Amino acid sequence: MNQEVFTRKRDYLLLLPSLLPLLLLFVYPLLKGFIMTFQEPGSSAMTMHNYIEFFTNAKYYDTIWRTLYLVVPAAILELFIAFGITYFIRGKMRGGGLIAGLTIFPLTLGSIIIDMAVIAFFKPTGWFNTTMINMGILDEPFTLVYNYWGAFIALIILGVAFIASNLVGMMDSIDPSLEKAARTLGASHWVTFKRVFWPLIRSNVLTVFALNLIMQIGVYSTAVIVGNPASETRTFVVVAFEEAMRNFNYNMANTVAIVMGVTQLLVLAIVFAIRKRGFVGSASTFK
């Protein structure tokens, strides 16, 4: 098989139809955007003004804490819920497929419909509050929409669906005979989980966790529709859009986006530093 149809150097020109548009539409804007953050609108002099403004004006630097305060607790809770559900239904449990399907189902609806659904279900006259009042648990409706909790619930629903959609496949890829071996040698369920199952799936779980966290740091439509974008759920993207679409200050908007990107990278670095301290590899080899 030493004959090749495409052997000449000239054939690499075939890469150009896809590379050129990307260089023009993706790489150039990315670089220009980075330079833009060092400029003021309407001038080309280099200055650190945008970053100084971001880190000294509470209107801007507050968004870091507001975003993380909303997203990090949600992401951790999502991981526990999704892991609990998918671990319980792994293997050949009857009805497991149905449960997995229903858990992942919100992903197909998309963020906007989930936001409206959270409002319909958790609003003061919605099913949640009426049921709670009828059961005598609450005296008066609990405000769960158009504030922190509304965005929190919507994030949880979508995040659990995302994490579960990834975990289902990963759990199935772990060879069940490893667990069986541990169980026949007398290990309890808990010990089998702690010493066999968890070390094998740990690195994948952390990767999915990091991906989900990064995605949710960029939360926008949820924060605007079910949250309170003026104060409690004023996330990075809300501020960036406000700068770009209301004030037409693309330089500041991109500064916010860069700070968001750096935050995401830091989160990624932290999770991967934790991930490195354990087994990283496949557990499906000897099936």
Partner 1 sequence: MRAEKPIIEEETETPVVKGKHQKPLRNSKKGKLLQGGYKTSSWVLILLFLTIVLGMTLAVILSAFGEEWYGTILPEGYTIEWFVNAWQAYEVGEYFKITMEIVLTATVISLVLSLPTVYILARRDFPFKQALLGFFQMPFTLPDLLYAIPVASIFYSIGLAETMTGLIVVNLIVGIPFSVFILLPYVESLDPRLEYAAQSLGASKFKLFQRVIIPQIVPGITASAINIFIRMFNTFTIILLISGPKTQTLNVMVFSVLQGSGSQPPAMLNSLALTLMIPLLFFSFLSLWVSSFTQKRLGK
Q: How far apart are CA 192 and CA 108, in angstroms?
A: 35
| Residue (15 or 45) nearer to partner 1, CB | 15
| Shortest Cβ 49–partner 1 spacing (Å) | 17
| Residue (34 or 55) nearer to partner 1, CB | 34
The region, left, alpha or beta by phi > 0 then psi within -120 to 50, assigned to residue 4 is beta
Q: Does 3 bind partner 1 (CB under 8 A)?
A: yes
Cα distances (Å, whole numbers) of residue 3 to 6, 7, 13, 129: 9, 9, 20, 72
| Shortest Cβ 26–partner 1 spacing (Å) | 5
| Residue (94 or 277) nearer to partner 1, CB | 94
| Shortest Cβ 14–partner 1 spacing (Å) | 4
Can you tell me which of 47, 143, 188, 247 binds partner 1, judged by CB under 8 A? Answer: 188
Residue 49 burial (C-beta neighbours within 10 Å; 0-12, 13-18, 19+)? middle
Question: Mask: binding to partner 1, 46-75, rule CB under 8 A, as x and -?
Answer: ------------------------------
Q: Of the listed pieces 43-51, 186-194, 200-208, 270-278, which binds partner 1 according to CB under 8 A?
A: 186-194
Can you tell me which of 208, 260, 267, 283 binds partner 1, judged by CB under 8 A? Answer: 260
Question: Mask: binding to partner 1, 85-104, rule CB under 8 A, as x and -?
Answer: x--xxxxxxx----x--xx-
Token duo for residue 146: 């158009």
Q: How far apart are CA 236 and CA 258, in angstroms?
A: 10
Q: How many residues bind partner 1 (CB under 8 A)?
A: 87
Q: How far apart are CA 173 and CA 262, in angstroms?
A: 33
Q: Does 245 bind partner 1 (CB under 8 A)?
A: yes
Can you tell me which of 118, 174, 206, 213 binds partner 1, judged by CB under 8 A? Answer: 118
Q: Does 126 bind partner 1 (CB under 8 A)?
A: yes
| Residue (55 or 105) nearer to partner 1, CB | 105
| Residue (42 or 281) nearer to partner 1, CB | 42
The contacts found for 120-124 with CB under 8 angstroms, 24 or more apart, are: 122/149, 122/150, 122/153
Q: From the centroid of its chain, how far is CA 139? A: 35
| Residue (14 or 278) nearer to partner 1, CB | 14
| Residue (277 or 287) nearer to partner 1, CB | 287
Can you tell me which of 209, 250, 267, 283 binds partner 1, judged by CB under 8 A? Answer: 250
Can you tell me which of 110, 169, 199, 278 binds partner 1, judged by CB under 8 A? Answer: 110
